[in-house]
Structure 1
């Protein structure tokens, strides 16, 4: 039987890190399995291509949620990467680790080894920061993290205006005081998107002990009793079983990892029984605890020179395209999410709970969902609630592995989430009314000056608001009845199977989640090597 020591399911942000680190030991054979195909595409390589990838099903699972009651029964579109690199191949490339108190909270819940002091070395290990090595950054890791190659003066004015209302300019959003305003850093290398695949796998793909399978769908984890023995896959329409002599590691993401556990008989026994799936381990928390960041969008009309809109419209956008093709510089070499101000909605908050992102461009979605730059000079913002109280779920709809599960995020189901987001909208208006950025503003386009009361602003959030596409928490780490994995990421109730991706987060981190997912992959690989389970004897 085809056999590997370790089978890693999902070549995304966490999975690529796991497979790369495990294969550093030449005595370990590692198989990395990806449902999608190669990520060798111009719009993936060019950082500004994110808008083109939003609906591109060649690289995207293109999920939709169930109707969300508190968001006007809207079905929210969830793009998730389905290609080498996973969602790191289609995301906004913002490098944010979160707040130290996020991880200290994980540890306080009984997850030994997950405090900020414990995880910081793994962030540093993964990173090659353009600023060089320091107490908080690494410069020899595989993942390139860089400052923006161009800094629009509008963003500088935004940061100065934020400072005037008490949100002070800081030199690094990923270092103390972990609060304030600055330009984002991004996972961009020499004008090209840096994915987990280009960082962790591409440079070492020559290793003889590492195999990468693409366009291969996982059907289920295979067990002998309560011990994982491999995975069943479908490739080119044919099913087969691949054996794991040591462990199976699920890194399929917060939407697909719980689905795979359910298909394998691990989940709420009552739900599994409804679909004719035998219960191997009754873990009612599988698929529960779903969390995501919700944001309120804002747009302002500006003076012409205050926005990139004109440069990205009409014939000028083709000049930008030529510039990128010949130099890998210019607007196509950058992420649209230029900057953020991290602030607290009230003094009672222990850490910033608002991330106020400003972009020197504005855009809307056409009827087909494609991103279209606005015809007028404009800038846009997203007011992100960092620690929502609302919780959702992932649930089976069928025993067929090719039928996506049901996603119910329950955005804004907790009234406090809407209340604090409204505070964020008001704080953003305060910044934009302050000099020097106020001189660049012509008018507020969205939600507009007619929207003033808390009730009107909340209705705007419910009607136009969207998510950060940062789904986490559905296989949470812990020791309580709803926990799915322990602090070593081993699935409760079975042996030789772990989960290593954003689904293990007990609570969502305070910012974009790609960097924490990479850290989870780094830490998971270290734990797997430390635990070093003996090889099983494989019988055909």
Structure 2
């Protein structure tokens, strides 16, 4: 039987970070286990290939939710990374930290050490910002953060129109943690996607104290008298056990970490018993508190030449392919969302609760997750409510750890979320009617000029809303009976077991969640070294 000091489960946005930081100590042996294979192929590194990575492919779990009442009974396709780098290897690469008040609220809720001022050093440590370091930006860290490879005039028109409506310009919008409008930075370097595997682990892959195994599916944590002593894995169709001499660290993500806990007998006792799983610890919060950003797109037709679409269709896409291969720049070197405005849905909210993400491009989406660039001149603006009040749940489908969990998003269970989205659509429309961007727009395509009432816009939201890929919160940090981990990310009631990934967020951050998840990996590894396991 193999023994390592630390067994890290999941080589995703946080797991790659944790494995790197733990293995920085040559005196410890670290095993990193990933259920997927290493992502290979042209589109896995090309920023514009994200649409292909979102849809069903070997590097994507390709989950599907239960039918959602708030979405007129639709089930949603939920992409999640199943490869080295996890979701950072298939996402839209947008790098935003969220609002500083998000973290201050975590600390005020009883999570000491998680305020903005306390997480900021970890944010700065993870990044090497193209703009250089300052009081909020990091320089010299593993992850390269860059401005868009192209900054077409319509992007600046969006920013200036928002300013005309009173939204302040913020130069460091991605990292400063305040509301405003500006350019969004991305985890792209020299025209290539930067996953956390690329940034953190590939440079140290040869370390003798670090073992990385792919296509190794962890099925449960092995417990002895409520002490985590190892993991059970499925490799090549065979189950075996690997010992952890110090700790087991779950970094499997907001859907798979609670699933693993439940298959290990940690969770709501009644649910576990209903599947014939022996209860090691009744911890009812496991899988609860699921949050996500549901987004909708306002799409408008533009004057010819304004949109990026024409460069990614027809004969021009081959020209762009050659340009990318030769110089790693051009339209293929860009993500989709290049600017954003963080605004308030109404005057009564404490801080910005809407993200309006501008794309000089437009897509069409299939129910299976397939994303295709529209063959028309068009741009789009996506909106989501940054701090949804609705809460969903992850449950087990059966006692089979290889079966997809039951995903219950409960979008719009709280009517406040729908009200915020309606406000967001109206803000987008007003912004697109404002100069200078108004001069570039010919007509609204979606929701369309016929949709004017709240009832019509509500149906548009329910019929077209989709995930922003920001699921989190299912192993919530806290000290109350429904919390799963403490502020040091140790699982309550189980010794030598931590969760370090997006599932520990008490509330979702106000923006794209990949950067906060990487920060959680950094801070979680530091906490693991500083605070002993709860033996």
| Common topology (TM > 0.5) | yes
| Residue 385 (1) aligns with residue 404 (2) | no
Matched-pair contact (CA < 8 Å) for 2:477–2:484? yes
* Distance in 2 between residues matched to 1:287 and 1:323, nearest whole Å: 46
Comparing 283-292 with 32-41, which one deviates more in the overlay? 32-41
Match of 2:255 in 1: 255
Match of 1:454 in 2: 454
Match of 2:206 in 1: 206
* Distance in 2 between residues matched to 1:368 and 1:487, nearest whole Å: 38
* Distance in 2 between residues matched to 1:260 and 1:247, nearest whole Å: 15
Change (3 A) 1:114 1:368: closer
Name the SS of the counterpart of 1:311 in structure 2: helix
How far 1:175 moved relative to its partner?
4.8
* Distance in 2 between residues matched to 1:40 and 1:463, nearest whole Å: 35
Match of 1:464 in 2: 464
Matched-pair contact (CA < 8 Å) for 2:98–2:511? yes
Change (3 A) 1:515 1:401: same
Name the SS of the counterpart of 2:123 in structure 1: helix
Please show how residues 176-195 of structure 1 align to structure 2 within 5 Å.
176=176, 178-195=178-195
Please show how residues 136-175 of structure 1 align to structure 2 within 5 Å.
136-175=136-175
How far 1:174 moved relative to its partner?
3.5
Unaligned 5+ residue runs, structure 2? none
Name the SS of the counterpart of 1:306 in structure 2: coil
Name the SS of the counterpart of 1:322 in structure 2: helix
How far 1:533 moved relative to its partner?
5.2
Change (3 A) 1:177 1:238: closer
| Residue 289 (1) aligns with residue 289 (2) | yes
* Distance in 2 between residues matched to 1:73 and 1:92, nearest whole Å: 27
Change (3 A) 1:202 1:175: closer
* Distance in 2 between residues matched to 1:217 and 1:366, nearest whole Å: 29
Deviations 1:341-378 (A, max 9, x none): 11001121111001001101112125764222212100
Match of 2:402 in 1: 402
Name the SS of the counterpart of 2:182 in structure 1: strand
Match of 1:121 in 2: 121
* Distance in 2 between residues matched to 1:499 and 1:283, nearest whole Å: 14
Match of 1:29 in 2: 29
* Distance in 1 between residues matched to 2:127 and 2:375, nearest whole Å: 39
* Distance in 1 between residues matched to 2:345 and 2:441, nearest whole Å: 24
Name the SS of the counterpart of 1:272 in structure 2: helix
* Distance in 1 between residues matched to 2:115 and 2:468, nearest whole Å: 25
* Distance in 2 between residues matched to 1:177 and 1:223, nearest whole Å: 40
How far 1:316 moved relative to its partner?
0.7
Match of 2:72 in 1: 72
Deviations 1:46-78 (A, max 9, x none): 011001112232100000000000101000110
Matched-pair contact (CA < 8 Å) for 2:98–2:512? yes
Match of 2:39 in 1: 39
* Distance in 2 between residues matched to 1:177 and 1:92, nearest whole Å: 20
Match of 2:445 in 1: 445
Deviations 1:121-151 (A, max 9, x none): 0000111001111110111100111111210
What is the total number of aligned residue pairs between the two structures? 535
Change (3 A) 1:189 1:482: same
Comparing 65-74 with 320-329, which one deviates more in the overlay? 320-329
Comparing 524-533 with 45-54, which one deviates more in the overlay? 524-533
Name the SS of the counterpart of 2:342 in structure 1: strand
Unaligned 5+ residue runs, structure 1? none
Matched-pair contact (CA < 8 Å) for 1:419–1:458? no
* Distance in 2 between residues matched to 1:199 and 1:337, nearest whole Å: 22
- RMSD between aligned alpha carbons? 1.2
Match of 1:96 in 2: 96
Name the SS of the counterpart of 2:425 in structure 1: helix
How far 1:86 moved relative to its partner?
0.2
Match of 1:309 in 2: 309
| Residue 528 (1) aligns with residue 528 (2) | yes
Match of 2:417 in 1: 417
* Distance in 2 between residues matched to 1:40 and 1:134, nearest whole Å: 35
* TM-score (normalizing by structure 2): 0.98
* Distance in 2 between residues matched to 1:159 and 1:56, nearest whole Å: 34
How far 1:531 moved relative to its partner?
2.4
* Distance in 2 between residues matched to 1:40 and 1:373, nearest whole Å: 23
* Distance in 1 between residues matched to 2:466 and 2:482, nearest whole Å: 28
Deviations 1:515-536 (A, max 9, x none): 00000010111111112459x9
* Distance in 1 between residues matched to 2:366 and 2:85, nearest whole Å: 27
* Distance in 1 between residues matched to 2:395 and 2:277, nearest whole Å: 13
Comparing 383-392 with 51-60, which one deviates more in the overlay? 51-60
* Distance in 2 between residues matched to 1:58 and 1:309, nearest whole Å: 27
Match of 2:336 in 1: 336
